Structures are given as structure tokens and as C-alpha cells.
Structure 1
Amino acid sequence: MKMQLDELDTALIGLLADDARAPIADLARRLGVARTTVQARIDRLEQTGTIAGYTLRIGADAKHRIRATALVSVEPRTGTAVVSRLSALPQVQIVHTASGRFDLIVEIASDETDSLDEALDQISAIKGVTAAETLVHLSTKVDRTH
């Protein structure tokens, strides 16, 4: 069942998205409500899955400096095996299924070009992969994922 969010829930989620470690007292003060209200809202948002967890955002200096996206086509009925092999590669960060010309969108990260090149060679060599096209990320202009 989908939970209806009111203005307070939305504002609270926005504050937590900016700083998930913000103290309850600070959140309450910024929202103009009691600490118990904030804690109860957070508990409810967690229980309903609206807040699925908290994560660490890695600073730009600590992130892998070289990122790429591989667009991958696979033979019919080999997708599960290909995804399994992709997940074994340490450079592979995220694998999405896709509609259209390509079946998978593979996000890759590495600290050096040799490692990135090795990962791309390994992806192309996976049994069931029929084509792969790679896009190396040059710079990030917009990032709303963090």
C-alpha cells in the first residue's frame, strides 16, 4: 500500500536527503515541530519503506575518477547468466535492464584506464554478449542521485 505524504513528510525527507545524520532536535527546529513528531514520522517513513535506508556519499576526491557506461546486447535467454558474470567484475557498479536496441546498461568505475579497459574486454568476452558500446564519462554536469 502506497503511503500518502503530507507537506511535513516531504520537508523531512528533503532535510534528510541533504543530511541523513542531522540530529532529530535540529530537524524538529527547522520544521517547527516537536522532536517526538519528527521521530514518529521517521519511524513511519522507514516502516512503510518510503525511507529505504541511509547511505554514505563519497566525496569527489575519494570516488573512482574514471567512469563509463557500457550499453550491452545479449542473446535471448542469456540475460541472467550475463548479469551474474557482470556482477562478479569489481569495476561494475550498477547493471540496469533496458528496452530498445540494448538489453543492459552497465555502469563501470575504475581508478585507472588499464582497469577500465580490462573490464570492457571482460564484458565483451562474456558468453551471451553480442554487442557492447562504451561511453566514457568526461564530466558530471547534473547529479541528483545524492
Structure 2
Amino acid sequence: MDETDRKLISALRHDARASLSDLAMMLGVSRTTVRGRIERLKASGEILGFSVVLKADTARDPVRGLMMIGIEGRGTDRIIRQINGLSAVRAVHTTNGRWDLIVEIGTGTLEEFDAILGQIRRFDGIASSETSLLLNTRKSGN
């Protein structure tokens, strides 16, 4: 992947429906080059697909947040299984640094969100946690 591929991917992330002509003009290359690069990136698995984000998708979870979790001992796999079993959990990420896991949570109300936090904090092996509510999403990876 070269710089032109990276710029193409960035442009597609901004507007996946941009025309080949618009993309070519932005990148300073021909439409044929853009088409070929997109096809090559799809064939290599760099681009897995394109998606649409609907307004209703963002309304699904009016209360969203990230819970950073520190785990004591060797219970990480067990804790991940427990967390994955919760319907309010949207994603679980392992990480390095101060926190062992970052958990994306989405609920309909603050009360539901608080209940999920309490449930996770009671799991055996959770040493510490810190949670941040997501106020607004300016750009989504979806």
C-alpha cells in the first residue's frame, strides 16, 4: 500500500459514495487508476466492503460509553467471556498500558448503563475501572 492508496482510503472513509471522477480529481490520477486501485484493495482484503450508517443506527444506543478495565491475575479470558455475554456490550478490545480491556457499552437509559457498569465491576478479577460517557460522535469507523 502506497501513499496514493492511503489517500484513496481516506477519501472513501470520508465519502464512500464519491464518484470515480471526484476521487480521481482529489488524488490527481485517472479514473482508471482509481478503479484499478479500489479493485486491487478489495481483492487483497484491505477493503472488506462498504456500509451505510443510518440515523436510526446512532439512535439505537442513546447512552454510550467506554469502560476501561484493569484485571488482576490471569482471569482475562474468563472476564472477556463474561463481558461478551452482556447484551449492552458492543465491543471488547484488549489493550496495553494502564488498562487491560476497553469495553464499548450502549444502553437506552443512564439507569441501564449504570446497572451494566455495576454488574461488570462485580466480576471476580476486576481490579479497577474507569468509564467515560460518549457525548457525540464526530466520525465513526462504521
Interval of TM-score (by shorter of Structure 1 and Structure 2): 0.7 to 0.9
Give CA deviations for 1:23-73 in whole Å, capped at 9, x if unaligned: 445544655655443221101112333324333334486252222222212
The percent identity for this pair of structures is 36
Q: How well do the aligned residues superpose, as a CA RMSD in angstroms?
A: 2.8
Code of the aligned partner of 2:65: A
After TM superposition, the score normalised by the length of structure 2 is: 0.75
Using a 3 Å threshold, how does the CA distance of structure 1 residues 58 and 123 change in structure 2: closer, same or farther? farther
Q: Any gaps of 5 or more consecutive residues in structure 1?
A: none
1:129-140 to 2 correspondence within 5 Å?
Answer: 129-137=126-134, 139-140=135-136
* SS class of match (1:108): strand
- 1:70 aligns with 67
CA distance in 2, matches of 1:50, 1:111: 34
What are the within-5 Å matches in structure 2 for residues 110-125 of structure 1? 110-125=107-122
Q: How many pairs align?
A: 140
Structure 2 distance, partners of 1:24, 1:100, is 42
Structure 1 counterpart SS, 2:59? coil
For residues 21-100 of structure 1, what are the structure 2 equivalents within 5 Å?
Answer: 21-24=17-20, 26-28=22-24, 31=27, 33-59=29-55, 62=59, 64-100=61-97
Flag structure 2 segments of 5+ consecutive residues without an equivalent: none
Q: What is the CA–CA distance in structure 1 between the aligned matches of 2:17 and 2:88, rounded to whole Å?
A: 29
- TM-score calculated relative to the size of structure 1: 0.73
Higher helix share: 2
